[in-house]
Every structure is written in C-alpha cells, then in structure tokens.
C-alpha cells in the first residue's frame, strides 16, 4: 500500500503484535530494574504498629505500579499480603522474583 494509505506497514504482524509489545516491555523493565533499586513502602507508611495485615494463601493476580529509583513501571504481579493502606506484591523481572509494598490504589485486580 502507498504511504498513508491506511493499510498495514510492511514487516508488521497484527497476529503477534501483543507478544512483540510484551517482549519489548519486558526488556525495558529488565534494563530499568538493573539500573535502579526497587522501592518499597516503609514501616511508618505501612503503619505496622497499628494496622493488621491479611496474608492470602492463594495470591490474586493484579497490575501494579512500582518504582525503580525515579522510574514508575506497571507490572503484572500477585497480591500476597495487604492491610487497609497497602498491598505486598510479588512479580518477575526476567528470572528474578521481586517483592515490595505499594499503596493500595497503585494496584488493579485482574479478574
């Protein structure tokens, strides 16, 4: 098709576009995770002295916003523990399992 004709560009694959995008996102996440430390909430922010926590024997899948240094990234994760303010999540970066606490509103359940 001619440029601007609205048809697919040469070399693109509608069938595998999601997979290719996911692979690119994973590579970006790995580079950022290697360059900056994963941030987690502090005990004071979690109010561990006063708020009880719930541990889930069957962790629930979610999308969660995490921070590696100054970089915010949305990751596929599972919620393993929570209180009324925050969720403890775990997720994979390459072959490495990561864990951190994030604010509850940074987590979106996947149903």
Question: Is 46 in contact with 85 (CB distance < 8 Å)?
Answer: yes
Question: What pLDDT is stored for residue 1 in this prediction?
Answer: 46
**Domain chopping of the chain, boundaries:** 35-109
What are the pLDDT digits (tens) for 27-70?
A: 899 999 999 999 999 999 999 999 999 999 999 999 999 999 99
> Closest by alpha carbon to 73, among 104, 102, 44?
102
Model's pTM, two decimal places? 0.79
Give the C-alpha separation, 9 to 12, whole Å. 6
Mean pLDDT of all residues in 90-101:
96
């Amino acid at each position: 098709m001619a440029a601007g004709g609205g048809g697919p560009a040469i070399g693109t694959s509608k069938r595998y576009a999601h997979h290719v995008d996911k692979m690119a996102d994973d590579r970006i996440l790995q580079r950022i995770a290697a360059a900056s430390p994963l941030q987690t909430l502090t005990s004071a922010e979690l109010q561990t002295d006063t708020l009880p926590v719930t541990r889930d024997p069957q962790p629930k899948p979610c999308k969660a916003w995490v921070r590696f240094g100054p970089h915010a990234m949305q990751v596929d994760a599972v919620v393993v523990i929570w209180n009324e303010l925050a969720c403890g999540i775990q997720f994979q970066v390459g072959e490495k399992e990561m864990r951190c606490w994030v604010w509850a509103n940074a987590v979106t359940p996947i149903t």
